[in-house]
Amino acid sequence: MKKTKRKIFETSMKLFSEKGYDATSIEEITAVTGVAKGTLYYHFSSKEEIFNFLVEEGMKLLKISIEIKTSKCETTIDKLKAIVLIQLKGIKKYENILTIVMSQVWGNEPRNVLCKEKVIEYINVIQKIIEEGFEKGDIKQCNSEALACELFSLTCSTLIYRRKTEEFDIDKLYQEYEKNLLNKLKA
């Protein structure tokens, strides 16, 4: 990504996350970024296009992270543990993207639909891993769709937890999730 486009991307992500999509204007993005409107429009045709790019790129990064990490795991439990750890680390690394996506998941506007689609694609990756675990006999049979949603919901609840507390220790949270959820899935 070119330097100017990256700057627009990062500034927009921060503003959308802090203020919300509707409260952020193109003028504000250009002012904070320090680029002219024409430069912004050279890279993105509209605020909606910036938003779509943020969501698509952000969720793609998370999916790729899962695919890379889980490909190195032997058992389904290890894969699910890797997913939880990726999500926890993702809160720190991609907090703004996740905040944007989760704030826009509800509703029927095009950006809401896009966010829902990207979250569902992400959950489907998790669901596929769970179903493979059933076939291998690695994990207990259950509703794979519900479990995949539950694992994704750790991201949502961790976002809330992160805003509620000053202490955000990924290792401690991971140990809690492992003890309270993941270890109970073993067949």
Kindly state the DSSP code that residue 165 receives in the 8-state scheme: -
CA-based nearest residue to 56, from 2, 110, 108, 7? 110
Place of tokens 């669901």: 127
Question: How crowded is residue 23: how many other Cβ atoms within 10 Å of its Cβ?
Answer: 10
Query: What is the DSSP code (8-state) at residue 105?
Result: S
The residue with tokens 């045709």 is 45
pLDDT tops 80 at residue 168:
no
55-185 is a CATH 1.20.1260.10 domain: no
pLDDT in tens, 54-105: 999 888 988 898 999 999 999 999 999 999 998 888 887 888 888 899 889 9
- What are the structural domain ranges in the chain? 1-45, 55-185
Pair 118, 55: CB distance under 8 Å: yes
Q: Which pLDDT score, from 0 to 100, does residue 1 have?
A: 67
Superfamily of domain 1-45: Homeodomain-like (1.10.10.60)
Residue 26 has a pLDDT of: 96
Question: Rounded to 5 degrees, what angle do the CA atoms 52, 128, 143 make?
Answer: 110
